[in-house]
Amino acid sequence: MTASRRETLWGLVAVHAAGQDRPVSVADVCDVAVSWAQVTGAWVTATSGPGPDFVICVTDPVSEQLAELQLTLGEGPCHDVLASAAPVLTGDLGDEQAGRRWPAFTAEAGQLGAAAVFAFPLAVGAIVAGTMGLHRNSPGPLTRAQLGDSLLLADAATVLLLDGADHDGGAGLDGHASDLAAHRAEVDQATGMLTLQLGVSAGEAFARLRAYAYAQDRRLADVAGDIVARRLRLNPEPDPAPDGTA
């Protein structure tokens, strides 16, 4: 039954891609997931470390903001998915448990209109390549059938991501693909510039970039763009005095 369902979903993904006159990509998986799980939007992030590195595709502006919000905050369902390599299903972002688990994320996600988030690992064995996230603008869990289909679609996204089929960064909707690719390139370039300016590792440079964006309540991509354009320069943190005083 699962094999048959997997074939059916792959067929839907292929038909969707053909309708867009493009090769099959994770963007098609996201679109099918939105329809079959009856959610409001979806996104896919890729990773090469303990946290999401960049956004591959989104289906709508709120999905892009939710994905980037987790990247900026360093917390949220997708971060937990990468740590556990297991789905994180939150049918009500307004409940007390979600608020304790992700205090900053739940507050800001609620302002965006997201009431439920479901995140899935894109993994093969021990390799976790990224996450697929779904959001809904009303609370409530996925049904058993919706959960099963979402897991199978996450498997499809994993195959496409690892096979490099999404070579152009994902054919997002309404030009989102090129925008996301440009944002990713700017974040990477800004991180590289900060490693030289601050004399720190790439990981610490990215952490500084993320912290600045959060403190200023700005999008990570916008801060990265200012750094690349040399409109913004982050100063090295002062070294502590020998006696431990500031």
- Specify whether the CB–CB gap between 96 and 119 falls below 8 A: no
CA distances from 47 to 50, 53, 170 (A): 8, 5, 15
Q: 80 or 129, which is more confident?
A: 80
Co-location of 115 and 196 in the same domain: no
Dihedral pair phi/psi, residue 174, rounded to 5°? 50, 45
Give the pLDDT band of residue 212 (cuts 50, 70, 90): confident
CATH of the domain at 158: 3.30.450.40
The separation between the first and the last C-alpha atoms of the chain, rounded to the nearest angstrom, is: 65
List, in sequence order, every residue forming a beta bridge with 46; answer none if it has no partner. Answer: 54, 130
Give the pLDDT band of residue 180 (cuts 50, 70, 90): low
Q: Which residue has the tokens 């700005």?
A: 218
> What pLDDT sits at residue 46?
86
- 84 is a domain residue: yes
Domain count of the chain? Answer: 2
Please provide the average confidence, as pLDDT, over all residues in the chain: 82
Percentage with pLDDT > 90 across the chain: 43
Co-location of 135 and 65 in the same domain: yes
Do you know the residue count of the chain? 246
pLDDT tens, position by position, 114-163: 999 999 999 877 778 889 999 999 999 999 999 999 999 999 998 888 77
Co-location of 40 and 139 in the same domain: yes
Number of continuous H segments (helices) and E segments (strands) in the chain: 10, 5
Co-location of 33 and 114 in the same domain: yes
Q: What is d(CA 127, CA 224) in angstroms, rounded to the nearest whole number? A: 29
- Beta strands in the chain, from DSSP E residues, in sequence order: 41-46, 54-58, 88-90, 116-124, 127-136
Residue 192 pLDDT > 70: yes
Residue 89 domain boundaries = 2-170
Co-location of 156 and 182 in the same domain: no
Q: What is d(CA 109, CA 64) in angstroms, rounded to the nearest whole number? A: 11
CATH of the domain at 222: 1.10.10
Distance of CA 134 to the CA centre of its chain: 10
> What pLDDT sits at residue 164?
60
> What pLDDT sits at residue 176?
43
Tokens standing for residue 194: 């900060």
Co-location of 114 and 25 in the same domain: yes
